[in-house]
Structure 1
Amino acid sequence: MNCKSQFLMLLSLFWLLLFLNCAAFPDMVTSKERKLYSIPKEKVRFVFTGFYRYEQEQKQIQDTLLKSGFLQDQNSNLELEVILQKKDPVYRYLLIHRLNFVLTFLSGGLVPSHIRTEHTLTFRYTNLGVFVNESVYDIGMDQWRGIPVILLMITHWPNRIYKEQLIDATKLEIKEI
């Protein structure tokens, strides 16, 4: 192997180490909405919006709703729309966040980088197209990437944490109904 191919292989390994080892630390699932009406657990039509990359999570939410007593009926007048939306993260100190990313890159992943992800999960109820009620839950987590987080990623894998937060929000919604 020549020097150029060795360098490319080393650079590829660097990027794999830097971006494949990631640990996430979740925020508590919160909601600022208050229930105005009680939604009966009866036959409803489920509509999922924003889950185009999260099919497994959609299935888990649907299973959780069905286990709680809802019955799925595509001809029902009552519709439950579950909406997943990504929010732009707000960094308190944006300059420090950007410097952290550069430092992670220059250190070869020895200094972990921080990434913030935020979503909202909305449960919107309509009856014959008329708005009945809506609940919005905020979901967020802090992700750390870099070589020092390899041990933490076993118990704090971002995909698992994200699924747990979506199910927690769904269970909160079910409790309030």
Structure 2
Amino acid sequence: MSTLRITKHGETVLKKVSGPVDCENMKKDIPRLLRDMWKTMYSVKGVGLAAPQIGLNIRLAIIDVRPQGKSQRLVLINPRIVSKEGIQRGEEGCLSVPGVYAKITRASRVAIRAFDAHGKPYEMTAEGLLARAFQHEIDHLDGKLFIDHLDFIDKLKVMSLIRDLKKNWN
């Protein structure tokens, strides 16, 4: 297993819409890629990681929000949100924008459709932190960062902070 380099704000891979994963053609590569993604995410204490964050523009993400302190590893291959309900506002951060946190408004309940690590389709409905994580990671696959949801004034403040923090990113 390898720890992968996490792409940072400003790298073009983070702003591109990712293409679909061909589960049949990638079936022998997916297990190793997922192992490396899990190792990378846990090494920086993340709860989610999308393929663009490791330099790959494919529709693949992983999430483990650890409900009740227990690991619940979710693999999202070619995910899409099929419904959204309600509103929640909460603080978000991102491994690709280290040290930056902001209050973001998201749907409080979402339903997604995706394929698991074995290429089997599934549907899942989530609320709270898991709903937020689904939306955050799928945004990455659509070339969006959480800061893209900020209003103009808040985005200006965050961009100023990012300029300062970038000096210390490796």
Higher share of residues assigned strand: 1
Q: Say yes or no: TM over 0.5.
A: no
Shorter-chain TM-score range:
under 0.3
Larger radius of gyration: 1
Q: TM-score, with normalisation over the residues of structure 1?
A: 0.25
Compare relative contact order (CA 8 Å, sep 6+) and give the higher one, 1 or 2.
Answer: 1
Q: TM-score, with normalisation over the residues of structure 2?
A: 0.26
